[in-house]
C-alpha cells in the first residue's frame, strides 16, 4: 500500500475512533513519525495510564501492549503485529519461574517490565531500566531479592546497588549482540567519542561505556553532554528521534557481531510492526489485547507500586 495513503488513513481513523498511538523508540521511523507519543517503557506506561483516548494502539511489543491493557482495562488496546514478542519476556516461562521462586521462599521478587503478565502477577515490584536502582534501594537491606528476567541488567544492578541479587538467566538478543572488538575499532577511529550503553548490554560493553542508562537516560545524556560524537549501544531505532534533537552531533550505532545491512543492532520483534499493519489494526480494531480480570488484578499491584515509587 502507498505510504501517503497509509499516513492519511491512519490520521483519519485516529480522529474518527478517538485513538492514540504510543510508539517505542525502537519502532521504525515511519511509525515514530505518526505516533502521538514516543518513549521508553516507563514513559509509555505512564502515558498509557493517563490517556483519555478510547483506543490505544501500542506500537511496540506484546508485553508493552499487555501492560497498557492492565493499566487501562476499559480501553481497547491494539498491537499491530501479534507476533511481536521479546526474547526476555519469552525466555521467562511462568511454570519455570514459579519453580525458581519457590526455591527462594524468603526472597521478594522484582521484575523488569519486559516480562509477561503472569510473571508480573508473581512479583512484588516491577521496574524499568530507568527506575530499577531506585526501586531496589527502596527495599530494606536485610530483605533478600530475586531479580528477573534480565541477567545483564541484574548484574549491573548488583554492582550499582552493592547488593546481592538472585538472578534469572534471561537476556535480550539485541543487547547481547554487540561486538566489543568492532566497538573498540570505531572508538579508536573516533577517540573523542563517548560510548553510551543500555544496562541490558553485557558487562564487557558496560565496562568501556562512559554512560550507562535507560533509553530515555541515554537520550538526555547525549542531548546535554558537550561531546559531539557518540557511539550508542542500544537498539538503533533510538537514533531517529535523537538525530532530530541533536542534528549537529554525530551518532554512531554500536555494531553487532552479525554483519547485517545497517551494521547495527535492531530488534527484529520491534520491527515486525509496519505502517501497513498499524493501519489495518486501527481499521479492523484487531489484534486486540485482552487480560483476564483475575490476572490483571494480580499484575497491576507491582506495576502500581513501581509507578508510585518512580
Residues found near ligand SF4 in the complex (CB under 6 A): 26, 61, 86-88, 114, 172-174, 235, 267, 269-270
Q: Is residue 51 marked as binding?
A: no
CB nearer ligand SF4, residue 26 or residue 187: 26
Q: Is residue 290 marked as binding?
A: no
CB nearer ligand SF4, residue 6 or residue 130: 130
Q: How far is the CB of 199 from ligand SF4 (least distance, A)?
A: 11
Q: How far is the CB of 83 from ligand SF4 (least distance, A)?
A: 13
Cell match 549537529: residue?
248
Q: Is residue 45 marked as binding?
A: no
Q: Is residue 164 marked as binding?
A: no
Q: How far is the CB of 75 from ligand SF4 (least distance, A)?
A: 22
Residue 294, C-beta contacts closer than 8 angstroms, at least 6 positions apart: none
Q: For residue 185, which of 247, 236, 252, 248 has the smallest C-alpha distance?
A: 252
E-only strand ranges, 69-210 = 76-78, 107-112, 125-127, 144-148, 165-167, 194-197
Q: Alpha-carbon distance 161 to 29, whole Å?
A: 36
Q: How far is the CB of 191 from ligand SF4 (least distance, A)?
A: 29
Q: Is residue 188 marked as binding?
A: no
Q: How far is the CB of 94 from ligand SF4 (least distance, A)?
A: 17
Distances in Å between the Cα of 70 and the Cα atoms of 25, 48, 52, 214, 301 are 21, 10, 15, 23, 10
CB nearer ligand SF4, residue 6 or residue 233: 233
Q: Is residue 172 marked as binding?
A: yes
Q: Is residue 24 marked as binding?
A: yes
CB nearer ligand SF4, residue 146 or residue 267: 267
Between vectors from CA 24 to CA 68 and to CA 153, what angle results, nearest 5°? Answer: 90
Q: Alpha-carbon distance 125 to 148, whole Å?
A: 11
25 CB-contact burial (10 Å; exposed 0-12 / middle 13-18 / buried 19+): buried
Residue 121, C-beta contacts closer than 8 angstroms, at least 6 positions apart: 295, 298, 299
CB nearer ligand SF4, residue 197 or residue 267: 267
Annotated binding site for [4Fe-4S] cluster: 86, 172, 267
Annotated binding site: 24, 41, 86, 112-114, 129, 172, 198-200, 215, 267
Annotated binding site for iminosuccinate: 24, 41, 112-114, 129, 198-200, 215
Amino acid at each position: 500500500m502507498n505510504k501517503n495513503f497509509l499516513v492519511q488513513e491512519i490520521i483519519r481513523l485516529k480522529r474518527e475512533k478517538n485513538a492514540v498511538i504510543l510508539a517505542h523508540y525502537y519502532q521504525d521511523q515511519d511509525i515514530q513519525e505518526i505516533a502521538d507519543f514516543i518513549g521508553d517503557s516507563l514513559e509509555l506506561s505512564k502515558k498509557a495510564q493517563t490517556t483519555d483516548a478510547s483506543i490505544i494502539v501500542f506500537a511496540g511489543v506484546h508485553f508493552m501492549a499487555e501492560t497498557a491493557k492492565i493499566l487501562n482495562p476499559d480501553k481497547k488496546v491494539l498491537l499491530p503485529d501479534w507476533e511481536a514478542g521479546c526474547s526476555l519476556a519469552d525466555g521467562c516461562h511462568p511454570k519455570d519461574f514459579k519453580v525458581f521462586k519457590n526455591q527462594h521462599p524468603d526472597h521478594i521478587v522484582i521484575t523488569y517490565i519486559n516480562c509477561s503478565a503472569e510473571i508480573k502477577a508473581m512479583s512484588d515490584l516491577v521496574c524499568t531500566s530507568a527506575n530499577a536502582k531506585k526501586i531496589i534501594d527502596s527495599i530494606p537491606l536485610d530483605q533478600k531479592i530475586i531479580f528477573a528476567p534480565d541477567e545483564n541488567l541484574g548484574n549491573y544492578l548488583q554492582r550499582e546497588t552493592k547488593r546481592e541479587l538472585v538472578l534469572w538467566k534471561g537476556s535480550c538478543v539485541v543487547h547481547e549482540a554487540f561486538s566489543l572488538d568492532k566497538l573498540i575499532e570505531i572508538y579508536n577511529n573516533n577517540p573523542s567519542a563517548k560510548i553510551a550503553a543500555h544496562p541490558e548490554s553485557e558487562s564487557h560493553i558496560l565496562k568501556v561505556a562512559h554512560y550507562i542508562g535507560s533509553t530515555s537516560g541515554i537520550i538526555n545524556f547525549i542531548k546535554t553532554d558537550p561531546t559531539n560524537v557518540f557511539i550508542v549501544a542500544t537498539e538503533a531505532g533510538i537514533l531517529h528521534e535523537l538525530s532530530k534533537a541533536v542534528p549537529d552531533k554525530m551518532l554512531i550505532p554500536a555494531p553487532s557481531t552479525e554483519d547485517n545491512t545497517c551494521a547495527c543492532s535492531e530488534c527484529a520483534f520491534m520491527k515486525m510492526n509496519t505502517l501497513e499493519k498499524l493501519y489495518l489494526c486501527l481499521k479492523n480494531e484487531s489484534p486486540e489485547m485482552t487480560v483476564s480480570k483475575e490476572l490483571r488484578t494480580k499484575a497491576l499491584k507491582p506495576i502500581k507500586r513501581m509507578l508510585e515509587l518512580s
